[in-house]
Chain A
Amino acid sequence: MRKELFTAKNVIVQGITGSHGAFHTATMRASGTHIVAGTSPNKAGQVIDGVPVYATIHAIQQDHQVDISVIFVPAPFAKDAMIEAIEAKVPLIICITEGVPVHDMLEVKKQAEQSNVTIIGPNCPGVLVPGINKLGIIPASMGTPGRVGIVSRSGTLTYEAAAGLTARGIGQRYIIGIGGDRIQGTNFIDCLRLFEEDDEVSSIVLIGEIGGSSEQHAADYIKSHVSKPVYAYIAGHSAPIGIQLGHAGAILGGEGETAASKTEALQQAGVTTSISIVTLIESVK
């Protein structure tokens, strides 16, 4: 992921005529995001809130260059929407839609990797580059321009961290919610690389959760590749261990999935860790 992806100008909304799509098109435009068009299969030719509606991305591309697509289409159609954007070679695709089947994401992820485009999400609040671009549903008021890069799996904790830092007068360069689904377009490491390479970022906040091993991989990456200070919190220290259905989790090393072991891995990578979101916000310098 290059930083230019997020500061690019021409944004479209797939599913612009739905209630979420229409509502958030308005909030994104109110925050200065340059939305050139939207798609809706049966409503081509309409104008929503001053934005022209097309049937397909291909049709939009006859009139505009498309840099970024933000997707709000309902879950049953999200796979087709993402694949349409991939085939149209839209460089940055952000899928807000919740409830995309995991088998659909396997297919999307495979196609995205072959096509060299970036997908963020699904089931995520998107990206806020305060003062520059609002790409999704993170309220612009939560952020303020500055030099922290925030990446989080949890939507609500993305807001919490951004709002908490803003209240302390610490601004952010990026606020990225990567979503909590099993298969994610973009992971922690992609975001850490972006933050490390962007000179506008001077410190990093990482918010993880119990389950999976992406925080362990993030810790390995930080150890070898990240020079900037990282502050982290893993949600779920007090969570009960879920009732395991099969043996597969245990065979594949489910013990590393607790908040404590993830926190330890991050500490060993030199990360400043917190045991609550409150202390995380206080710890950032």
Chain B
Amino acid sequence: MRLLEHEAKALLRANMIPIPEGVIITKHDTRSSIHLPTVLKSQVPVGGRGKLGGVVVVKSKEELESAIDTLFSLDIKNYTPNVLLAEEKISILREHYVSLLIDRDSASIRLIAYKDGGVEVENNISSHDFLNIAIDESTLDSDAKQLASYLEYDIKLVRPLLVHLYATFTRNDATLLEINPLIYTTEGTLICGDCKMELDDAARFRHPEWNFEDKPSDTNFVSLDPDGSIATIANGAGLAMATVDAVAARKMKPANFLDIGGGANTASILIAFKRIMEFKRIDAIVINIFAGITRCDEVARAIIEAKKQIDSLPPLFIRLAGTNFEEAVALLAAENITTMASLDECLAAAKEVTHA
């Protein structure tokens, strides 16, 4: 789960990490509490907003209203904000990049730092001159020393920051905590200019305090090609990717990726059919289910319902296997809907009805 900047910064503040003073602006607020000059920041759950006009410095009262209106209507990578953050302007001496993340390969938490932070950080880093070390509760002292010496600051300045960042990361089941830029101010302090944070959804059961803005998630249904001719429905991310790959390998154009997930029911599958109908050039729908926890009969019921509810449904090519397979085939057969033994057969048949 991605947090918005202001949500992540609230977690930083709760862990005694310095952040700029700021207020949250909703669409219908009075703006009286905003001190000028201020930095207005669109609260969208994607990176790169600065380059797209999502961060604006406002100096006068006259500019404020229109700047707020502009930011609320500005689309940033398909997101428009529900709130803005108005922060004090910080006088910057140096900017750095610091992040904590979970590294798959070493199965550890890693501390990454780079001297020159900012929006272009990944392009500016030349291969090996950034700091990349494993970090652990038991080694925090020496980790802080390494960070201090890398960034060329006194350990007294760096150690509390790192200890608190580590605590924020572990207490909140974070998988990414990125401070970019970490600002060294003209007053000689370190303060977090921007923060991106990702929390582990799986840990929600032990965080009743989590109450963040819902962000639309498209992990289950991804549009691949608006002109695609083959729509796909599958279960499990791996099988869904494999189904799309197999369509492409047969020289047909996949329109979408859809993983109906483990707990799919008739209603959620029907929604998927309706989203597929928004594509203009679908010649065939390939349904590939290898059911473990998903039940084939549930999928079959959804298919029958879709046929009834949706006019001009393109031809369906269905492959079902696994849990309750026989029941599903019987249900479909009663409605004169046939199934195929393999994905490959489905694709061969779909190819026959494809126009382009």
- Is the CB–CB distance between A157 and B178 below 8 Å? no
B101 within 8 A of A: yes
Which residue from chain A places its CB closest to the CB of B48 in the assembled complex?
A244
Are B202 and A102 neighbours in the complex by a CB distance under 8 Å?
A: yes
List of A residues within 8 angstroms of B331 by Cβ: none
B173 touches A103 (CB 8 A): yes
Say yes or no: A278 contacts B344, CB within 8 Å: yes
CA distance A234 to B248 in the complex (A): 14
A246 and B105: CB pair below 8 A?
A: no
Q: Which residue of A lies closest to B323 (CB)?
A: A139
Q: Beyond A106-B108, A213-B104, A251-B125, is A238–B46 a contact (Cβ under 8 Å)? A: no
Given A156-B292, A157-B238, check contact A275 B104 (CB 8 Å). Answer: no
Residues of A within 8 A of B347 (CB): 278
Which residues of A are found within 8 Å of B247, using beta-carbon distances?
A: 238
Is there contact, CB below 8 Å, between A183 and B107? yes
Partner of B200, one of A101, A139, A251: A101
> CB distance A212 to B104 under 8 Å?
yes
Q: Does B337 contact A (CB under 8 A)?
A: no
List CB contacts (< 8 Å) of A227-254 with chain B. Answer: 233, 235-240, 243-248, 250-252
Instruction: Report if A277-B2 is in contact (Cβ < 8 Å); known contacts: A102-B102, A237-B248, A238-B254.
Output: no
A182 at the interface (CB under 8 A from B): yes
For the complex, is A76 an interface residue (Cβ under 8 Å from B)? yes
Residues of B with C-beta under 8 A to A103: 102, 170, 173, 200, 203
Residue interface bits A196-222, CB-to-B below 8 A is 1, else 0: 000000000001011011100100000
Q: Which of B104, B121, B175, B238 contacts A247 (CB 8 A)?
A: B121
Is residue B206 contacting chain A, with contact meaning CB distance below 8 A? Answer: yes
Task: Say how far B51's CB is from chain A's closest CB, in angstroms.
Answer: 13
* A150 CB–B CB distance under 8 Å: no
Q: Is A65's CB within 8 Å of the partner chain B?
A: no
Chain A interface residue count, CB cutoff 8 Å, equals: 60
- Within 8 Å CB of A156, what residues of B? 234-236, 238-239, 242, 290, 292
Contacts A155-B236, A245-B2, A251-B130 known; A109 to B107 CB distance under 8 Å? yes
Q: Please pick, from B205, B239, B250, the residue contacting A75 in the complex, using a CB distance under 8 A.
A: B205
Question: Which residues of the partner chain B approach A233 to less than 8 Å between Cβ atoms?
Answer: 242
Beta-carbon nearest neighbor of B121 in chain A: A247
Q: Which residues from chain A contact B342 at a C-beta distance below 8 Å?
A: 164, 167, 278
Cβ–Cβ < 8 Å partners of A235 in chain B? 238, 241-242, 245
Interface residues of A (CB under 8 A from B): 75-76, 98-106, 109-110, 125, 137, 139, 152-157, 159-160, 163-164, 167, 180, 182-184, 207, 209-210, 212-214, 217, 233, 235-240, 243-248, 250-252, 259, 275-279
Interface, chain B (partner A; CB < 8 A)? 2, 45-47, 77, 97, 99, 101-105, 107-109, 112, 114, 121-122, 125, 130, 132, 170, 173, 175-176, 178, 180, 196, 198, 200, 202-203, 205-206, 222, 224, 234-239, 241-242, 244-250, 254, 257, 262, 290, 292, 321-322, 342-344, 347
Q: With contacts A101-B202, A109-B107, A247-B99 known, what are 6 further pairs, Cβ within 8 A? A: A76-B205, A154-B238, A156-B239, A183-B104, A239-B257, A251-B114
Can you list 28 pairs linking A and B with CB atoms under 8 Å apart?
Answer: A76-B205, A101-B206, A103-B102, A103-B173, A139-B322, A154-B239, A156-B234, A156-B235, A156-B236, A156-B238, A157-B236, A159-B322, A160-B239, A160-B290, A182-B104, A235-B241, A236-B241, A236-B245, A237-B248, A240-B222, A246-B47, A246-B178, A246-B180, A250-B122, A259-B245, A275-B248, A277-B242, A277-B343
